[in-house]
Amino acid sequence: MSNKLQRILKRDKPKADILENMTRTWFKNSDAPEAIVTIKPNTASRSVKQNAFYWRIVSIIADDTGNSPDALHTYFSSQFLEPLIEEVNNKPVVVIKSTTKLTVNEMSKHLLKVVDFADDLGIRLDLPDDWRGLVTAEVESGDTGA
């Protein structure tokens, strides 16, 4: 057995049974006399499914507009992601976070903005019925985590 267990806990879901079962399982499968439990914010990067869905949407928009997927990706990043200003050699440089570094929640927001962009242009995306499962409940309910 791995010497580490990991589980995502949701704010609005019961947690006591989950933690008790995890610790019981860990001690049952380990010879260690003690364990450390750490709770931290979920900052996992965007999911593989989110990324595949994003590039599917970008490709559809590219086919409709005649732009390359790379150009659209750069445009969406520059329009929808928060820019950071860094100084290089005493000069300000605008840095845009890569989508590979986005959390699941950040990627959810980005996906919704890209879908809205396509909708504003009248582009039909033919989204699968379960596409909203790729956007977190926090984003759908308007909770930005701020």
78 Cβ contact partners less than 8 Å away, ≥ 6 residues apart = 96
Domain boundaries, the chain: 48-140
**pLDDT beyond 60 at 143:** no
For the stretch 30-48, pLDDT in tens is: 888 988 888 777 666 677 8
Instruction: Spell out a b/e string for 39-57, using b for 16 or more CB atoms within 10 Å of the CB, else e.
Output: eeeeeeebeeebbebbeeb
Q: Decide if pLDDT at 142 tops 50.
A: no
Q: What is the pLDDT of residue 35?
A: 86
Mean pLDDT across 1-23: 75
The architecture of the domain spanning 48-140 is: Orthogonal Bundle (1.10)
Residues whose CB is less than 8 angstroms from the CB of residue 44 and which lie 6 or more positions away in sequence, other chains included? 103, 104
pLDDT by residue (tens digit) across 88-133?
999 999 999 899 888 888 899 999 999 999 999 999 998 888 788 7
> pTM for this one?
0.64
